[in-house]
A = this chain, B = another copy of it.
Amino acid sequence: MLEELKEKVLQANLELPKRNLVIYTWGNVSAIDREQGLVVIKPSGVPYEKLKPSDLPVIDLNGNKVEGDLNPSSDTATHLVLYKAFPEIGGVVHTHSPWCTKWAQACRAIPTFGTTHADYFYGDIPCTRPLTPLEIATEYEKNTGDVIVETFKNLNPNDIPGVVVHSHGPFNWGKDPMKAVENAVIMEEIAKLAFYTQSLSPHAEQMDHHLLDKHFLRKHGKNAYYGQKSQKVNN
């Protein structure tokens, strides 16, 4: 079942080591089939170079395995929360990519410093609040998802397709699994730029909001004019 989606999820997972977002098995990508309410995700602890499409477990939105021999990623419950809360997303990715993880470990949002950021993320990339001891002890992975959703209470996840989780690392999403990974690659680059921008200019203010609007809307929404007419440059 879901052969085509499995192939897409496999390719998106293989992009992680290729783009230097992971070493060993430090990341996982999933995708959802919205009609059937089924999710395909990387199996836990399996090296990318050994993955075959048939290795990818299929689970329902309650976390029950519908197909597959292998255990799904230990982060599966977080992915499921995001699919339920963010109805327009089709793929989710979690890694420990270095630059995003540094901001996560410093427990800080990534500030909006320039047009590279503005081209893809419509404002600061938030950092979640810490989980409570009780949230860590019980249903930890589900609660990680819940705290992400709580962080986006007043934010549009389609305009800011990523977050850093407190003391942990980044989660990203997109309209499909490859787009989610592209957002992860770009957020990693933005996180690096922001680190050095602040080193060069410790009291740097956020970029001008007119310029932020200009760049985000040049690439997104109905008046976008970047790219070719046949392309949809959306998250």
Residue numbers of A with Cβ under 8 A of B are 23-24, 26, 43-46, 70-71, 74, 96, 98-99, 101-108, 113-116, 130-131, 133, 136-137, 140, 167-169, 182, 185-186, 189, 192-201, 204, 207-208, 210-211, 214, 218, 225-229, 231, 233
Q: Which residues of B contact A43 (CB under 8 A)?
A: 228
Q: Which residues of B contact A231 (CB under 8 A)?
A: 45
Known pairs A98-B189, A114-B101; A46 contacts B167 (CB<8 A): no
B116–A101 contact, CB under 8 A?
yes
B103–A200 contact, CB under 8 A?
yes
Please, how many angstroms separate the alpha-carbon atoms of A137 and B208 in the complex? 12
- Contact partner of A193 among B101, B136, B204, B225, CB < 8 A? B101
A105–B136 contact, CB under 8 A?
no
- Contact partner of A210 among B46, B137, B194, CB < 8 A? B137
Q: Which residues of B contact A200 (CB under 8 A)?
A: 102-103, 106, 108, 195, 198
Minimum C-beta distance from A91 to chain B (A): 17
A201–B108 contact, CB under 8 A?
yes
Closest B-chain residue to A74, C-beta based? Answer: B226
Please, how many angstroms separate the alpha-carbon atoms of A216 and B198 in the complex? 31
